[in-house]
Every structure is written in C-alpha cells, then in structure tokens.
Amino acid sequence: MKKRTEISAILQSPEMDSTVTVMGWVRAFRNNRFIALNDGSTPNNLQIVIDAEQLPEDTVRKIGFHACISATGKLAPSLGGGQAVEVLAESVEILGECNLETYPLQPKRQTMEFLRSKAHFRPRTNTFSSVFRIRHAVAFAIHKYYNDRGFYYLHSPIITGSDAEGAGEMFRVTTLDLEHLPRTESGDIDWKEDFFGRSTNLTVSGQLQAEIGALALGKVYTFGPTFRAENSNTPRHLAEFWMIEPEMAFYDIYDNMDLAEDFCKYLIRYVLDNYYDDVAALDARLAEEEKSLPADKRRPMGLIDQLRFVVDNDFERITYTDAVRILQNSNPYKKGKFEFPVEWGKDLQAEHERYLVEKHFQKPVIVRNYPKAIKAFYMRANDQQPDEPGLTVAAMDVLFPGIGEVIGGSQREERHDALLGRIAEVGIPEEELWWYLELRKFGGAPHAGFGMGFERMVQFITGMSNIRDVIPFPRTPKSAEF
C-alpha cells in the first residue's frame, strides 16, 4: 500500500506542488468533480479535485458518501472558497465501497438517538469524530497533569469484594452455575464454591485501593472503568463509565479543593490549546442547534466562551449550609418550582445544583461540609458548628453548568476509633474492611482525595447534552449493544 500523508499534517504545513497520497472517507462529492475527504485526523476536510473524464467510469461511480478512497496528486492553492489548499488528483482508488441504498447513514442530519443505535458508524460523522478526539485529548491530559506533578498511576482492581460507596448497586461477578447454585446448610448461596471463594462484584470506585497507595507513595491516582447497577435512565448516568481518582497523603479538604479546581482548569485549557478546531466545530453545531430554542432555553454563552470563562475565573466556594440557605431564599423555592424539597439534612438534587451554578453564582461552585448522615462512611467527621443543625463531614462536590456534579471528594477519616465507630453506625461488618482499618491503625496519616466522572467532564467540554454521546459504546439499562 502507498505511504499516505495524514490530512492534519497537510493542512498544518502544506508543501505546494508536492505529490501526496491521502486516504479517507468521502464526506461529500459535488458536481462529479469536488470530493470532501476526511481521514479522522482533524475535523477539517481536504478537497480533492478530480477530472472525471480521466478516471475510469466505474471508479467515479463508486465515489459516494462514506466510501473509502485513496487519492494521489499535486497539492495546490485552492481556487474556491472554504479551503486554502486542495489536491489535484492524478489517480483515485476505491478502498471500500459504500452502497447508499443499504448504508444505515445518509448524507443528512441524523438524530442522536438514531446514531446511538448505529454506534459502529457514528464516529464517521462530524460531531462524533470531534467528540472522540476530544475524549482522547482529555484522557491524555489527565495522565500528563498527574505525571508532571509527581503522582503515581495506580491500577486498582476491576473485580472486588469491597463496596466503596456502601450503596449496594453493584454488578455481581461469578462463575457459579446459576441453574444449580451450591447452597450452605442454611440454604444460602455458598460463595466459597465460587471462583474467588467469596462474593465479588465489578468495582464502583478505586478509592479504597488508592488510599493504600497514597499511604505509602504519597500521591497516586487511578483512572479506569467503574460500574453502577443503578436503574437510572437519564442524560447524566451510565452503568459503565470511567473515573479519575487522585488520593493524596498529608492533604486536608482545602488542599483537596485547590487540586480539584486546578485539575479542571488544566483539562479545559489543554483541549482549547491543542484541539481548538474540534471545539470550534462543536461550538458551531451547538449554536445552530439552539437557534430553534426559545431565548430562555439557550445557553447564556457559546461553548468556547463558557470554557474560557471557567478557566479564567475562580470557582465559588460555599458550605452545604450556605447552599441550603441560598436555595431557600431563591424565587424557585418560594414559588414552589423545585421538584425536590430543600431542607438541611437532605442531599442536593441536580435542579438545586444547577440553580446554584447557572442562576445564582453563574460559575462553577464547590460545596463542602455535607451532613454526615447522607455521606459515605470514610469521610472525616467535622466538629459541630453553631450555625449547623447537625454534624457534617469534610466532603466536597464540584458543580458545573449544565452538568451538575462533576467531582465528589472528601478528606478521609484517618482516626482509627472514629472510623471504627462509623463503620458500626452504617452496619458494615468490621471483617469486610479489616485491611482498610489497619491503614489507620499502623502508620496512618491525614489524607484526602476525589473522584471525577470522566464522561461528565468530556460532556461539559464538548457541550453534548447526553452523556451517552461522549462514550463510544454506552452501557445503560436494557442496552449493551456492540
């Protein structure tokens, strides 16, 4: 096969009059002469100009939407508008035909719902090719950020016997014959007969294992798939998603908030600096999509402006108690427009988070010091404060416009006796977390960490309205195609 030059390289440094070979998929073919070719390396197409009379008739006939071709010719300044350079084709080869009579995609705007059902083809569309290049960019930036700051990448287990969140919404892993389950004398399933000799599940978080790493290596992070068997059919939830979970020894809740804010800004800045064309393409798509919406339903600013605003401004920091007070004094609360109640001791819902971010502060917000009763067992208990009706823990959530919570974290409870008491309170058997308790008993240290939902951050950066559209193969209730 001929050596090809990627379209991104040609557009970045065009060498006029040089002969190049490009390969890619046809995005458009006009007047039997002009081919818009894309090879996935950039959102921008390269125009290929052919002389139909100089090519085999059968070849010209097969140049259609999403057909895969190879074209060789001279690079020249473009005489038409819309592009600076073009290839004057001397030869064209069909690498893969695409019969539009049977091809599921057509050269027209498709709905997001339809494209989800054709996940094997949607990366060929303008929107999804940009989304998935940005997804790659964010993943790379995550590793670069932590590597450059002295963190160590820790691979936490995907199969685990621990429920880090204590919610019980886990996918079970077993090799037992479900038709003939082994039973104990009392009639319970005998998990000792299973592959691992105990009940195991797909992980909901790598946090507990990350704490092991932090309490030896100082600063670690995990970045891997996590799973929730939660029957949530919403634009914000997936059953399989990716999490970034840094864990740091000798950090308190304030250090944790500083890191979370800096991390968010770094990821956005990296994408703007290195994948601007993709962001610009998605910005234009969003602006076109919102033209049909009433003014009060449109975003207050475009995608690029919103991303720059987040990078250039400090995040607002408030306590949970402050958040409840603000919500209870708001017009939506007074007019009964919130679907869920607002009262101290109840968790903030997405509608409350979005009000704080989008209406009240109009910027990202970090809420800290949540009620102890609604948070996980491993969060460090705060002293009672006079303005708070109950006990709180050193927890934090980072809230973004349009998304809600993008990061959740806390200072961890490093005091052995306090952790032991909390585990008993929530009803977790001590023997299940014997190793976690020993981390406090032998050489424990103050430490903190957080988890970022990778897809939620990608969703914010790309402006996509549904989280299923920022992961190549979404896993949701009743859906596990591909």
pLDDT at 80: 81
> In the CATH hierarchy, which top-level class contains the domain 126-169+204-469?
alpha beta
Which pTM does this prediction carry? 0.94
At 232, the pLDDT band (50, 70, 90 cuts) reads confident
pLDDT at position 165 over 70:
no
Q: What is the mean pLDDT of residues 15-26?
A: 97
What pLDDT is recorded for position 99?
96
Give pLDDT tens digits for 296-343.
Answer: 778 888 999 999 999 999 999 999 999 999 999 999 999 999 999 999
pLDDT digits (tens, 9 = 90+) for 384-400: 988 889 999 999 999 99
Q: Where are the domains of the chain?
A: 7-108, 126-169+204-469
**Inter-residue contact 93 to 69 (CB < 8 Å):** yes
Q: Predicted confidence band at 148 (pLDDT cuts at 50, 70, 90)?
A: very high
Q: Which CATH superfamily is domain 7-108 in?
A: Nucleic acid-binding proteins (2.40.50.140)
d(CA 315, CA 321): 18
Q: Find the range with the poorest average confidence among 160-164, 165-169, 454-458.
A: 165-169
> Given a cut of 80, is residue 166 above it in pLDDT?
no
What is the reported pLDDT for 95?
A: 97
Give me the mean pLDDT over the 61-86 stretch.
94
Average per-residue pLDDT in the chain?
95
- pLDDT value of residue 453: 96
pLDDT above 90 covers a percentage of the chain that reads 88
Check whether 168 has a pLDDT greater than 80.
Answer: no
Residues with Cβ within 8 Å of residue 313, at least 6 apart in sequence? 363
Q: How confident is the model at residue 432 (pLDDT cuts 50, 70, 90)?
A: confident
- Compute the average pLDDT of residues 2-31: 96
Whether the CB-CB separation of 27 and 45 falls below 8 Å is answered with yes
pLDDT in tens, 259-288: 999 999 999 999 999 999 999 999 999 999
pLDDT at 363: 94
